[in-house]
């Protein structure tokens, strides 16, 4: 599930409960989800590390962690953090459970998953020194976690990501020139590729294109500057609104447990095929496969 607004929501929720906590151990039930490092090194580096900061880059959640020993040795000055990076892909969740069993965090909703933790999908279980826990659940097992020591390695992992669409570096002119560099790509596909703006997935790409009045099948080279401006504004507006609503949840899911999802009621086209266009044009929302993904759009309102 998680696209930019969902990961941002999870980051904000988890920051409130994770900053300052110290890892005691990690139970690795599905080793393949720990990428790029030997499991034994992963355990060793995690142990006695304190979470000092949470960041997000695109759809990745990044915890800055520091060995407690290093903090003591240097009296907390100029300690370089390591980076624990999560990608939830299609179905990952990060759920924090405090000592009383209360939950915070969230991700893709899995039926009954929150009633019982750990469950069949809890592939990594981090335990903190105070007995609280962080569960990494992932039904489809595409998600991953990695740990890198240097900021340089983190930069390597994010180097192909376009700018943060809500960040200062996201400028209309840069956005247009980036899209123009892929003249034969279709706008729907380019937006999903993370290259000109990061963090957009199928929900927000479809919603942004509807808002901007651009058909997902349009080739970039045929899109006018004015339309790109509208798209740029649409992306920012929709992402902000989605973050304010704490993300989107499709399907059934449990609220009240720190799980996410108020944006679903604002969706105009995503998974609304067959329904009347919300612009009251009389046309019905179409669904079309583009490179294996479902695009949703109004034939009348999107040119």
Partner DNA sequence: CGGAGTGTTAGTCG
Partner DNA sequence: CCGACTAACACTCC
Residues annotated as catalytic are: 2-3, 59, 293
Site for DNA in 6-35 (CB under 7 A): 6
User: Closest distance between DNA and the C-beta of residue 109, in Å?
Assistant: 6
Rg (CA), the chain: 20
- 16, 111, 150, 240: which one binds DNA (CB under 7 A): 111
Identify the helix (H) or strand (E) that includes residue 64: strand 60-67
Nearer to DNA by C-beta: 81 or 143? 143
Alpha carbon of 126 to those of 26, 44, 171, 172, 257: distances in Å? Answer: 4, 13, 39, 41, 19
Does 139 sit near DNA (CB under 7 A)? Answer: yes
Does 69 sit near DNA (CB under 7 A)? Answer: no
Which residue from 173, 239, 256, 281 is spatially nearest to 9, judged by alpha carbons? Answer: 239
Q: How far apart are CA 191 and CA 206, in angstroms?
A: 10
Stretch that binds DNA, among 62-70, 74-82, 197-205, 208-216 (CB under 7 A): 197-205
Does 218 sit near DNA (CB under 7 A)? Answer: no
User: Closest distance between DNA and the C-beta of residue 46, in Å?
Assistant: 22
Nearer to DNA by C-beta: 34 or 66? 34
Query: What's the length of the chain?
Result: 303
User: Closest distance between DNA and the C-beta of residue 216, in Å?
Assistant: 12
Stretch that binds DNA, among 21-29, 68-76, 135-143, 164-172 (CB under 7 A): 135-143
Q: How far apart are CA 85 and CA 64, in angstroms?
A: 9
Contact 209, 215 (CB under 8 A): yes
């Amino acid at each position: 599930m998680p696209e930019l607004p969902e990961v941002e929501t999870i980051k904000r929720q988890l920051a409130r409960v994770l900053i300052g906590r110290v890892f005691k151990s990690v139970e690795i039930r599905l080793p393949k989800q720990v990428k790029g490092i030997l499991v034994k090194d992963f355990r060793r580096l995690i142990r006695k590390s304190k979470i000092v900061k949470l960041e997000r880059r695109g759809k990745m959640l990044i915890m800055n962690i520091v060995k407690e020993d290093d903090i003591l040795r240097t009296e907390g000055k100029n300690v370089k953090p390591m980076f624990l990076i999560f990608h939830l892909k299609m179905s990952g969740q990060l759920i924090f459970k405090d000592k009383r069993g209360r939950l915070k965090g969230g991700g893709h909703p899995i039926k009954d998953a929150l009633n019982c933790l750990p469950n069949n999908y809890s592939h990594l279980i981090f335990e903190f020194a105070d007995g609280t826990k962080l569960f990494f659940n992932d039904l489809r097992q595409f998600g991953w976690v990695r740990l890198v020591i240097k900021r340089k390695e983190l930069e390597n992992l994010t180097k192909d990501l376009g700018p943060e669409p809500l960040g200062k570096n996201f400028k209309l002119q840069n956005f247009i020139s980036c899209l123009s560099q892929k003249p034969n790509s279709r706008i729907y596909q380019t937006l999903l590729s993370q290259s000109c703006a990061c963090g957009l997935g199928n929900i927000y790409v479809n919603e942004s294109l509807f808002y901007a009045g651009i058909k997902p099948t349009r080739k970039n080279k045929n899109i006018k500057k004015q339309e790109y401006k509208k798209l740029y504004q649409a992306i920012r507006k929709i992402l902000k609104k989605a973050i304010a609503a704490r993300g989107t949840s499709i399907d059934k899911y449990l609220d009240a447990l720190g799980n996410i999802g108020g944006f679903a009621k604002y969706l105009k086209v995503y998974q609304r095929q067959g329904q009347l266009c919300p612009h009251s044009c009389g046309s019905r929302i179409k669904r079309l496969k583009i490179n294996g993904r479902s695009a949703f759009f109004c034939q009348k309102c999107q040119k």
